[in-house]
Amino acid sequence: MVEVVAGYEKTGDLLLTSSAGYYLGVALAGQGKPDRAARVWEQIIARGWDSPAAFNQLVRYYEARARSDDVKRLFVRLHRSAEERTGEFFAMAG
Protein backbone atom coordinates (compact mmCIF):
# COMPACT_ATOMS: atom_id res chain seq x y z
CA MET A 1 0.00 0.00 0.00
CA VAL A 2 2.97 2.32 0.56
CA GLU A 3 3.77 2.01 -3.15
CA VAL A 4 0.17 2.85 -4.03
CA VAL A 5 0.22 5.99 -1.91
CA ALA A 6 3.61 7.06 -3.27
CA GLY A 7 2.45 6.55 -6.86
CA TYR A 8 -0.74 8.47 -6.27
CA GLU A 9 1.09 11.33 -4.56
CA LYS A 10 3.50 11.52 -7.49
CA THR A 11 0.88 11.51 -10.25
CA GLY A 12 -2.40 12.46 -8.61
CA ASP A 13 -4.17 9.84 -10.72
CA LEU A 14 -5.05 6.38 -9.43
CA LEU A 15 -4.85 4.80 -12.85
CA LEU A 16 -1.45 6.29 -13.67
CA THR A 17 0.33 3.91 -11.32
CA SER A 18 0.07 0.20 -11.88
CA SER A 19 -0.01 -0.57 -8.15
CA ALA A 20 -2.86 1.82 -7.49
CA GLY A 21 -4.75 0.51 -10.48
CA TYR A 22 -4.08 -3.06 -9.44
CA TYR A 23 -5.47 -2.48 -5.95
CA LEU A 24 -8.45 -0.64 -7.38
CA GLY A 25 -9.14 -3.79 -9.40
CA VAL A 26 -8.73 -5.94 -6.28
CA ALA A 27 -11.21 -3.75 -4.43
CA LEU A 28 -13.71 -3.97 -7.30
CA ALA A 29 -13.34 -7.75 -7.46
CA GLY A 30 -13.81 -7.94 -3.70
CA GLN A 31 -17.06 -6.03 -4.07
CA GLY A 32 -18.34 -8.62 -6.53
CA LYS A 33 -17.49 -6.59 -9.64
CA PRO A 34 -14.98 -8.84 -11.43
CA ASP A 35 -15.80 -7.50 -14.91
CA ARG A 36 -15.00 -3.95 -13.82
CA ALA A 37 -11.83 -5.18 -12.11
CA ALA A 38 -10.74 -6.88 -15.32
CA ARG A 39 -11.23 -3.65 -17.26
CA VAL A 40 -8.96 -1.81 -14.80
CA TRP A 41 -6.28 -4.52 -15.09
CA GLU A 42 -6.57 -4.45 -18.88
CA GLN A 43 -5.94 -0.69 -18.78
CA ILE A 44 -2.75 -1.30 -16.82
CA ILE A 45 -1.53 -3.82 -19.38
CA ALA A 46 -2.64 -1.64 -22.31
CA ARG A 47 -0.57 1.26 -21.00
CA GLY A 48 2.51 -0.90 -21.35
CA TRP A 49 3.19 -1.49 -17.69
CA ASP A 50 2.87 -5.28 -17.96
CA SER A 51 2.22 -5.47 -14.24
CA PRO A 52 2.88 -9.02 -13.02
CA ALA A 53 0.05 -8.79 -10.50
CA ALA A 54 -2.49 -7.46 -13.01
CA PHE A 55 -1.32 -10.01 -15.57
CA ASN A 56 -1.88 -12.84 -13.10
CA GLN A 57 -5.35 -11.59 -12.17
CA LEU A 58 -6.35 -11.29 -15.81
CA VAL A 59 -5.15 -14.78 -16.66
CA ARG A 60 -7.19 -16.18 -13.77
CA TYR A 61 -10.22 -14.10 -14.77
CA TYR A 62 -10.11 -15.27 -18.40
CA GLU A 63 -9.34 -18.89 -17.53
CA ALA A 64 -12.35 -19.01 -15.20
CA ARG A 65 -14.50 -17.86 -18.12
CA ALA A 66 -12.90 -20.24 -20.65
CA ARG A 67 -11.66 -17.30 -22.72
CA SER A 68 -8.52 -18.94 -24.07
CA ASP A 69 -8.07 -16.34 -26.82
CA ASP A 70 -7.69 -13.63 -24.19
CA VAL A 71 -5.22 -15.75 -22.21
CA LYS A 72 -3.23 -16.33 -25.40
CA ARG A 73 -3.29 -12.58 -26.17
CA LEU A 74 -1.83 -11.82 -22.75
CA PHE A 75 0.98 -14.33 -23.20
CA VAL A 76 1.77 -12.95 -26.65
CA ARG A 77 2.09 -9.51 -25.07
CA LEU A 78 4.29 -10.95 -22.31
CA HIS A 79 6.52 -12.57 -24.93
CA ARG A 80 6.78 -9.28 -26.82
CA SER A 81 7.75 -7.52 -23.60
CA ALA A 82 10.45 -10.13 -23.03
CA GLU A 83 11.87 -9.56 -26.50
CA GLU A 84 11.77 -5.77 -26.08
CA ARG A 85 12.89 -5.87 -22.42
CA THR A 86 10.05 -3.54 -21.43
CA GLY A 87 7.42 -3.49 -18.72
CA GLU A 88 7.65 -4.38 -15.07
CA PHE A 89 8.43 -8.04 -15.76
CA PHE A 90 11.70 -7.23 -17.49
CA ALA A 91 12.75 -3.79 -16.26
CA MET A 92 15.35 -5.26 -13.89
CA ALA A 93 16.76 -7.80 -16.36
CA GLY A 94 19.54 -5.69 -17.84
What's the pLDDT tens digit per position in 23-55?
A: 888 888 989 999 999 998 998 888 776 678 888
Rounded mean pLDDT of 74-86?
84
Cβ neighbourhood burial of 21 (10 Å; 0-12, 13-18, 19+): buried
We report the CATH number of the domain holding residue 34 as: 1.25.40
Residue 49 and residue 87 in contact, taking contact as beta carbons nearer than 8 Å: yes
Helices (H), 1-94: 2-11, 18-30, 34-46, 52-64, 68-84, 87-90
Give the count of domains, the chain: 1
5 vs 40: which has the higher pLDDT:
40
Q: Residue 44: what pLDDT?
A: 84
Q: Residue 27: what pLDDT?
A: 87
What is this structure's pTM? 0.74
Residue range of the domain that includes 80: 2-90
CA 4 – CA 17 distance, rounded (Å): 7
Rounded mean pLDDT of 6-33?
75
